[in-house]
Amino acid sequence: MALKEKNIAYLAPAIPALSETFVYNEIFALRERDYKIFPLSIHRPVDVSESIREKMGPVHYLYKDGVIIFIMAFFQCLFTRPMGTLKALGLLISDFFHVGLFNLAAYKLIYQFFAACRAARLFIVNGNEHIHVHFGNVPCQVAMYASAISSIPFTVTSHANDIFEHGLLLKRKAERAKYFVTISDFNRRFLLEIGLPANKIRIVRCGVDLKYDGAEKNTSEKIRLCSLGRLVEKKGMLTLIDAVALLKERGVPVSLSIAGDGPERGQIEKSIAEKNLTDHVEMIGALDNKDVGPWMAKHDIFVLACQKDKNGDMDGIPVVLMEAMMLGLSVISTRISGIPELIIDGKTGLLVEPKDAEALAEAIVKRDIQHSLIDNAANHVLSEFGRDVNIDRLETLFNE
């Protein structure tokens, strides 16, 4: 492939946050292919692996610059890039009235426009030839104005709540972007239904870079479950706790280890205590990325009981499911969003309906079926969700 664009700016909400491993893994993969990457993060992340921070190197945290620097950048852009700056200002005014005078999001666009002036200056100084954005909400809003100012094209990868819950100006973003990328066929259908142009939508998975060495069958009587994710409603941890309680009542020897932290932790711990599961369920908190594999390897089944939360937010295709499949664990999840594209029920794992603890418990005890699917699961991840195949797809979009 003839590579045209080797100097790319990467813009995301929080680089390199543990919850956004797919962003920094993508950056590392592109650097291995001799791309120069300038990471620009909206916020400074709280949950960071020190080893990943060191590997990432310098990251510019945009919102730390503040409003005075943003306004100075606006005047610099107006002086050095008058046509682009006036074009971006026109887009802002149009977007402001489209969103609505009485909508707070419209006023936030003004701040994001000034932040975009600062971002545009950084992109120009760094000699960036392309801007790639992860998440179609705030980072994309900054990127589309910065692109107009600087005349640097941008692409965006959309995931889940950035389009389902916070899908502001999506049609306009797609029209302005070189491509509007998304991670699943499910998302693509959604974007088409709300009117995004089909010629702009492409699918690039969040790839994983793991090797599969086969799986050893657990011959012990106890079923060792694990789950990992931010402890929020859409991860369905309370449903998983209910499933473990059902198995305990039936005399099934089972243990569960939950890794992660978040606002639902107290409620989950309360449910564990109320159901007398303290001897069956452990909460180990957030894990450094380097510790996830060894921790998973101690278990037999990875379960993620994804569901819609009360605001309609839901997962896309959690990368942690792919990681579990490549590490030789059986996987169980739910029929929601793009997950059935990864976990094909009865072929690469087992699926149940969201919020159905009874069905989840039934799936957990199907141990012989689960083990027979492990090799299929790893092969499916390698062929469709592997890192290299998806970096190839991304490179193609950068260079078209």
> Can you tell me the mean pLDDT for 86-115?
98
Q: Could you tell me the two tokens for 257?
A: 């280890």
pLDDT beyond 80 at 212: no
pLDDT per residue as tens digits for the range 247-268: 999 999 999 999 999 999 999 9
pLDDT per residue as tens digits for the range 289-330: 889 999 999 999 999 999 999 988 999 999 999 999 999 999
Q: Closest Cα to residue 27, out of 50, 6, 10, 44?
A: 10
pLDDT band at 1 (very low <50, low <70, confident <90, very high): very low
Q: Could you tell me the two tokens for 157?
A: 């990868």
Run of H or E residues at 40: strand 36-41
pLDDT beyond 80 at 215: no
Helical pair 104-125 and 82-99, crossing angle rounded to 10 deg:
160
Domains of the chain in sequence order: 7-204 (3.40.50.2000), 223-384 (3.40.50.2000)
pLDDT beyond 60 at 63: yes
- Give the residue, 288 or 147, on which the prediction is more confident: 147
The pLDDT score that the predictor gives to residue 217 is 58
pLDDT per residue as tens digits for the range 5-44: 699 999 999 999 988 889 999 999 999 999 999 999 999 9
pLDDT per residue as tens digits for the range 163-185: 998 899 999 999 999 999 999 99
Run of H or E residues at 352: strand 350-352
Run of H or E residues at 237: helix 237-249
CA torsion, ordered 137, 292, 283, 262, to nearest 10 deg = -10
